[in-house]
Amino acid sequence: MESQVRVRFAPSPTGALHIGGARTALYNWLMARGSGGALVLRIEDTDRERSTSENVEQILDALRWLELDWDETHSQHERAPHHRERLRELVEAGHAYPDPATAEDVKAWKHAHGGAGYRGEPREEAGAAIRLRVPDEGETVVEDAIRGEIRFENRLLDDYVIARSDGSVLYNFAVAVDDAEMEITDVVRGDDHLSNTPRQLVVLRALGAKPPRYAHLPLLHGPDGKKLSKRHGAVSVEALREEGYLPAAVRNYLALLGWGTEDDTTLMSTAELVERFSIERVGRSSAIFDEQKLRWMNGRFMRELPLEEYERRVTAHLGSTDPAAREAFESAPPERRRAACEIVQEKAQTLDEVWPLVRFLFEEPGDDRAAWERVMTAEAGPLLVAALEALRDSASFEPEAIEGALRALVERREVKPKQVFQPLRVAITGGTVSPGIFESLSALGREDAEARIERALGRLSAPQR
């Protein structure tokens, strides 16, 4: 009987959770939830200078926002007594030894031995670090679910340092001890850790522990093919949250960065991801993070939200990014808020795009001089007058009736639709970008819409200074 799947996400709390780290967390979460296994969150905080409590909380908050839960939490720093005990056992068993060799000593030894991996001799001296004995012959084999079998010749591996002279252990030793004691069955992480894996396997072998299965994920690149960085836009979960992405859309998009279904399905619920995800289908090539594709996907998810949930998300986002806008939004009548969400839902691709598009329903339009000068020409005045008359004559102010009245005007005047619609848009919103003009006029209401058009006409006829 196979043991329960136990995976771990092990971030170092030295900064915000990177998108690559979020994908690693997601893949581990999908493996755990898809198999009925457990996800261990292990904060690898042995770098005490850079590992801050604020960074830890930032990572936890990012995972909560992504709605990725975990079953256990551990701090690597707090496990130091376990590491020291395992270190003592290995030294006593002869698997590790004290060695005061400096970097120059190691370099000279390797030069004298034709580039072979460094082998020291036990010497109890001041400043001696603890090195792990690596076998002189044979290979250390990494069985990788993505890359297949990867072999490392032991004779080329150094007896590497696993503890400093003060007794504090180093990263690779602590990781191997923790993986063994936490009974981790699968290690899914970025391929920047691949060079660490043979070292950790040597530790596990010395401990007499069963090694986990490994899967090293190709790193994420930007659309230009270079390693993902800030020049490509949002590269942290925190930034995606601030820009108004939905957790479900981010999960869907991150899952597809390197993995795909047999039928190339693109849009999937989280339940479908859990059911269909397989680490064996992750490709070996670097995946491209393209924020434009994420925006498209997020827009699809936003359009699927029930209107009540859409309004709740907009309110929450405004609360965290623009409190004044949230106050204006919440203080408006419920029917105005609902109308705003209805007309913007087909257009906005992120929550951050919503308020600029519907602000005109809650505040007087701003003064976009460039838009005014470009659209409100001498030819626009008579058409705007005619449009106002057509709206006044319309028996209904529903979008369908407004569209019928304005399109009839376009046909009578034999002009292009934008010659009528754009001046109306500038008059009621202050700019040239808005939800559909018919829906926007209807949402604003007959009285307010006619009043704004009249003010625009007054400005057009006023002497220019």
What DSSP string describes 96-156?
EEEE---HHHHHHHHHHTTTPPP-------TT-EEEE---SSSEEEEEETTTEEEEEEGGG
Beta strands in 218-326 (DSSP E): 220-221, 287-288
Distances (CA, A) of 416 to 137, 219, 362, 420: 81, 50, 30, 7
Domain map (residue ranges) of the chain:
6-75+219-294, 77-217, 305-361, 369-461
> Is it true that 6-75+219-294 and 77-217 share their CATH fold?
yes
Say what the alpha-carbon torsion angle 225, 231, 235, 240 is, to the nearest 10 degrees: -120
Q: In this structure, which CATH number among 1.10.10.350, 2.60.40.10, 3.20.20.70, 1.10.150.120 belongs to the domain 369-461?
A: 1.10.10.350
Alpha-helical segments (H) within 18-52: 19-35
Which residues have a Cβ under 8 Å from the Cβ of 32 and sit 6 or more positions away?
5, 6, 7, 38, 39, 71
Which DSSP category does 177 fall into? H
Distances (CA, A) of 148 to 5, 142, 216: 20, 8, 10
Please tell me the predicted confidence (pLDDT) of residue 49: 76
Please report, as a single letter, which amino acid is at residue 353: E
Distance between CA atoms of residues 255 and 426, nearest Å: 41
pTM of the model: 0.92
Say what the alpha-carbon torsion angle 280, 282, 286, 287 is, to the nearest 10 degrees: -170
Distance between CA atoms of residues 67 and 241, nearest Å: 12
Cβ–Cβ under 8 Å, residues 167 and 84: yes
Which residues have a Cβ under 8 Å from the Cβ of 292 and sit 6 or more positions away?
none
Say what the alpha-carbon torsion angle 442, 445, 451, 457 is, to the nearest 10 degrees: 0
Distance between CA atoms of residues 75 and 87, nearest Å: 18
pLDDT digits (tens, 9 = 90+) for 152-161: 999 999 999 9
Cβ–Cβ under 8 Å, residues 428 and 397: no
What fold, for 6-75+219-294?
Answer: Rossmann fold (3.40.50)
Residues of the chain with pLDDT under 50: 1, 465
Distance between CA atoms of residues 423 and 452, nearest Å: 11
Please tell me the predicted confidence (pLDDT) of residue 1: 47
Q: Which of 236, 223, 330, 220 is nearest to 283 (CA)?
A: 220
Cβ–Cβ under 8 Å, residues 255 and 38: no
* Catalytic sites, residue numbers: 230
Please tell me the predicted confidence (pLDDT) of residue 62: 97
Distance between CA atoms of residues 30 and 72, nearest Å: 16
Distance between CA atoms of residues 169 and 162, nearest Å: 6
- Which class does domain 77-217 fall in? alpha beta
Which residues have a Cβ under 8 Å from the Cβ of 331 and sit 6 or more positions away?
none
If residue 321 lies in a helix (H) or strand (E), which one and from where to where? helix 307-321
Starting at the edge strand found earlier in the chain, the sheet holding 38-43 runs 72-75, 38-43, 6-9, 186-190, 213-217, 139-144, 148-153
Which residues have a Cβ under 8 Å from the Cβ of 302 and sit 6 or more positions away?
246, 249, 310, 345, 348, 349, 350, 351
